[in-house]
Structure 1
Amino acid sequence: MMIRPAELEAIRDGEIDLAFRRWDRARVKVGTRLRTAVGLLEVTSVDAVPLSALRAEDARRCGAASLAALKQALSARPTGQVFRVGLRYAGRDPREVLRESVPTPAELAEIRAGLDRLDAASPVGPWTRATLRIIDDQPEVRAPELAAQLDRPTPEFKRDVRKLKERGLTESLAIGYRLSPRGEAVIDAEDGPRERAPRREGTPLPRTIGAPATRALRAVDVHTLEAVSAWTRSDLAALHGVGPIALDRLSAAMAEIGLDYAGT
C-alpha cells in the first residue's frame, strides 16, 4: 500500500487517520503493520464503501483538499471497489532498534550463519559480504553506482540490500546506504577491525526530502538536522534543489527533536 510522504507524516502526527483506495479486493487487513519511512503504521479498519457514501469528514480525515477532490481522485480509476482504510502510527520500525544493537558473540555467529544461507541460496553465488563491504567502503553512494561496481543490475542489488536491512545490518539514507553498528560488527568479525571515518553525530536528513534537496545540502556540508538548524529557512531556500516541500519536511523533522530553523 503506497502512501505519499506528506500523508505518512500526517498519519504519524495524528493529523489524518484514513486512506481511500480503489481496489478489486482488499489489499490489507485489520492488524496489518506497514513499514514506512516514518516508522510503523497499523491498519485499524478496512471497509468497502460506495463512492456516493463519502462525506466531507472522510475527506478531512484522509487529508484531501475537499470531498470533491477525494471523489475525483477515486474516479480516476473506474473499476474496482472503494475501500476506506483506517490507519494509525504504531511506533519506530523494529529494524531501527535492531541495527543499533551490537551483537554478542553468539548473535554474531548466528548472523554469519544466516548470511551463509543467503549466499548458498543465491543463483548469482555469494554476495552478502561483498555487498556489506562496498557499502562500508562507500557510504552515501547511490545504489546504481554501487551495483555497477559489482556488475549487478540495480533492482537486483537493491533487493539484496533490503535483505541485509531486514537483519539490521544496513541503513538506507536519503541517498545511498551505510552499515549500521550491527553491520560494522559483522564485517569486523570477518576482516578484523577496520578504520572508518567517524560516524556523523546528529540526526540524519530525512529520506522524504528527496535526492535533489539532499545533494544540495551535502554540497554545503549539511548532513544532519542539527546542521540544518544552523541555517535560516530563506538561506536554505536559495540553494538550487531545496524547494518548499523539502523545507517543510525538514521543519517537521526538526520539530520532532526540538529544533527549528535559525532565527525562527
Structure 2
Amino acid sequence: MLIERERHDGIRSGTITVLFRRWRQRQATAGNVYRTALGRVAVDAIDVVAAEQITEADARAAGYPSAAAAVADLRGRPGDPVYRLRVRFVEEPDPRDELAASGDLPAEELESLAGRLARLDRASGTGPWTEATLDIISRRPAVRAADLAGELGRDPAQFKLDVRKLKNLGLTVSLGTGYRISARGAAYLASRSRDR
C-alpha cells in the first residue's frame, strides 16, 4: 500500500489515524497489516464514504486542516468510490525480517521450503523460475530489478512480484536498489549445492 511521505511521521506517531483513497477497486482489507515505505501499517477498518460526507474530524485525523482540503487532495477519477481507512502503525518487527535473518535450516524445514518453491514453479504460467531468480540475485546483489529481469528474459513487473514471493519465504531481502540473498536464502542455496 502506498502512503504519501508527508503522512509517514503522523502515522508513526499516531496523530494520523485515517487515510482517504479514491480507488476503482478496493485495494485494502480491514484486519490486514501492510508493508509500506514507513514500515508496517494495520488497516483496522475500511468503508466507502461519499466525498461530501467526509467529516471535519475525519479530515483532521487524516492530517488535513479541513474536509474541503481532504476532498481536494483525493486522487483518481471523480466517479470512483472513496474509501476511509482507519490505520495504525505496527511497531513489532516484520516477521519476514526475522525469518530472513535465520540461517539455521533443519532438514525438515529445508524439505518444506523445497516443496513450497516447487509449488511456486508449478503454478507459474511461464514455467519454473525460483532457482534462476535465486541464482541471479545471489550472483548480482543490488542490481536493478529491471536489469535482472532483462537478463532472464522476463517481464520486470512479474519478476518483482515473484521476488516478493521469495521475500515472503524469507529467502531474499529488498535493498534500495535491487535485492540480496538473506541468511536463510544462503543456507537454502548451500543445501541445494550439497545435494547436487
- What TM-score do you get using the length of structure 1 for normalisation? 0.64
Q: Name the counterpart of 2:64.
A: 64
Q: Name the counterpart of 2:39.
A: 39
Q: Name the counterpart of 1:169.
A: 171
CA distance in 2, matches of 1:133, 1:11: 38
Q: Which amino acid aligns with 2:78?
A: P
Distance change in 2, residues 1:40/1:51 (3 Å):
same
Q: Which amino acid aligns with 2:19?
A: A
Q: Aligned residues: percent identity?
A: 42
Whether 1:100 aligns to 2:101 is yes
Distance change in 2, residues 1:5/1:181 (3 Å):
farther
Partners of 1:38 and 1:92 within 8 A in 2: no
Whether 1:78 aligns to 2:78 is yes
Q: Name the counterpart of 2:156.
A: 154
Partners of 1:171 and 1:180 within 8 A in 2: yes
Shift of 1:75: 8.0
Uncovered stretches (5+) of structure 1, i.e. residues with no partner: 193-264
CA distance in 2, matches of 1:40, 1:93: 7
Shift of 1:101: 1.6
CA distance in 2, matches of 1:121, 1:47: 34
- CA deviation profile, 1:38-87 (whole Å, cap 9, x unmatched): 33322222244443443443333212354432121238742244332110
Uncovered stretches (5+) of structure 2, i.e. residues with no partner: none
CA distance in 2, matches of 1:171, 1:27: 24
Distance change in 2, residues 1:128/1:80 (3 Å):
closer
Q: Which amino acid aligns with 1:160?
A: D
CA distance in 1, matches of 2:154, 2:24: 36
What root-mean-square deviation, in Å, do the aligned CA atoms of Structure 1 and Structure 2 show?
2.5
- What TM-score do you get using the length of structure 2 for normalisation? 0.83
CA distance in 1, matches of 2:155, 2:24: 32
Partners of 1:99 and 1:182 within 8 A in 2: yes
Distance change in 2, residues 1:189/1:63 (3 Å):
same
Distance change in 2, residues 1:182/1:5 (3 Å):
farther
**Hey, which of these two has a bigger chunk of strand by percent?**
2
